Structure 1
Amino acid sequence: METDDELLTRSVRDTEAFEPLVARHSTALHGYLARRAPRAADDLLAEVWLQAYTARGTYDSGRGAARTWLFGVARNVLAAHWRRHSDDRRTPRAAEESDDPWQAVDRRLDAAAVAPLIRRTLAGLPHVERELLLLVAWEQLTPTEAAAVVGIPPGTARSRLHRARTRLRSALGTPQTPPLAGDLA
């Protein structure tokens, strides 16, 4: 079985090699889009695959895995969607907020009891920290893969991810570090 990187590279010469990528990654990409733009997720997924197919010749395996590249394409498609629809809003908002509709994400949180607190905490995070946290927590990307998606160095991503997790833990009243065995007595 060919790896994603091999398939994506081969798809430049053999278009049928692109099909297994769609089968392997559609569910994860759709989930990423649905958590951020639930009503438009299906259309956005189609746009992701169209753009990925069109740009497949620009993929460079030296810059990261094919999965990471696909999430980067999805992130760009989502950002373009938010920019297009930010003009539809009636109340003026800051540019970062208008590109990031967290009310839709909030409606999808399962933990209803802490949803308001999580919402405030996520909204208070800088955009990149929030995106890193969600890519790692929801999309199960590694911090290095998430760094590639948002276009920052891995070390920077790890420190920003740590900061975001610390703020979320603090807001939820979760201990920062597990207690030592002697502290349990």
Structure 2
Amino acid sequence: MITVPDSAVADPERFAAVFDAHYPEIRRYIGRRLDLDVAEDLAAETFLIAFRSRGRFDATKGGVRPWLYGIATNLIGRHKRAEVRRYRAMARTGPPPDVGHDDEVADRVTAGVTAGRLAGALAGLSRGERDVVLLIAYGELTYEEVAAALGVAYGTVASRLSRARARLRETLGVEL
């Protein structure tokens, strides 16, 4: 991951560095939560919103990365119904084929044969619980970064994750 100083956000001339550093992971995160064909558009929209609202960026609330994940998660929230439908469909049919070989191998190792059951379990979580789980799992954000991305307290992240784990354990019958 490329590190970009927070000051690059405010400077329109240096914002390209923010885009270059974070676009691939934001697109990948969105692609894992929604269809890959939507990921490009929503990732671009994430950076358009970030560019337009760069004057309101507050580094004291978290870094650039969680700020971008927060914007992306809010856009994904607008597509909530489609996301839940996708997880329910995956629960019935399994995951869609991946485009990239590296992603396909990683997803197969990670998801294994439980992809359908996991998708169904994720569809059964509340939006807040699902956002926390997927920001941690797909975005590899820390609790602090998730809190900053979602604009909630650290304790809220911990409690949502705890509830989500309990529901996933119950649904999947596995220890998480």
In which range does the TM-score fall when normalised by the shorter chain?
A: 0.7 to 0.9
Q: Which residue of 1 aligns with 2:167?
A: 167
* 2:48 match: 50
Aligned to 1:130: 130
Partner Cα separation in structure 1 for residue 49 and residue 66 of structure 2: 15
Larger helix share, 1 or 2: 2
SS in 1 for 2:157: helix
Quote the Cα distance in structure 1 between the aligned partners of 2:24 and 2:37.
16
Deviates more, 1:36-45 or 1:20-29: 36-45
The Cα of 1:131 is off from its aligned counterpart by 0.9
- Between 1:105-114 and 1:25-34, the stretch displaced more is 105-114
Which segments of 5 or more consecutive residues in structure 2 lack a partner in the other structure?
Answer: 97-106
Where structure 1 has 5 or more consecutive residues not aligned to the other structure, the ranges are: 83-96, 177-185
Residues 157-179 of structure 1 deviation map (CA, whole Å, 9 limit, x = unaligned): 11211221233234333346xxx
Please report the RMSD computed on the Cα atoms of aligned residues, expressed in angstroms: 2.4
> What is the alpha-carbon distance in structure 2 between the residues aligned to residue 169 and residue 129 of structure 1?
14
Decide which structure has the larger Cα Rg and report it.
1
Contact preservation (8 Å) 1:36, 1:101: no
Report the CA distance between 1:99 and its aligned residue.
5.9
Q: Would you say the 8 A contact 2:6–2:63 is kept in 1?
A: yes
State whether structure 2 residue 32 is matched by structure 1 residue 35.
yes
Which residue of 67, 70, 80 maps to 2:68? 70
Tell me how many residue pairs correspond in the alignment: 157
Bigger drift between 50-59 and 163-172 goes to 163-172
Aligned with residue 26 of structure 1, among 20, 23, 26? 23
Amino acid at match of 2:141: L
Q: CA deviation at 1:142?
A: 0.7
Shift of 1:101: 3.5
The CA deviation at 1:70 is: 0.9
The answer for the alignment partner of 2:156 in structure 1 is 156
Per-residue CA shift, 1:52-94, capped at 9, x if unaligned?
11111110112111111111121223334x2xxxxxxxxxxxx
Counterpart code for 1:54: R
Instruction: For residues 145-164 of structure 1, give each alpha carbon's deviation from its aligned partner in whole angstroms, at most 9, with x where no partner exists.
Output: 11222222111111211221
Give the equivalent residue in structure 1 for 2:7.
6
**Amino acid in the other structure paired with 1:131:** D
Amino acid at match of 1:174: V
Partner amino acid, structure 1, of 2:9:
L
Q: Give the distance between the partners of 1:112 and 1:39, measured in 2 at CA.
A: 24
| Separation in structure 1 between the aligned mates of residue 112 and residue 27 of structure 2, nearest angstrom | 23
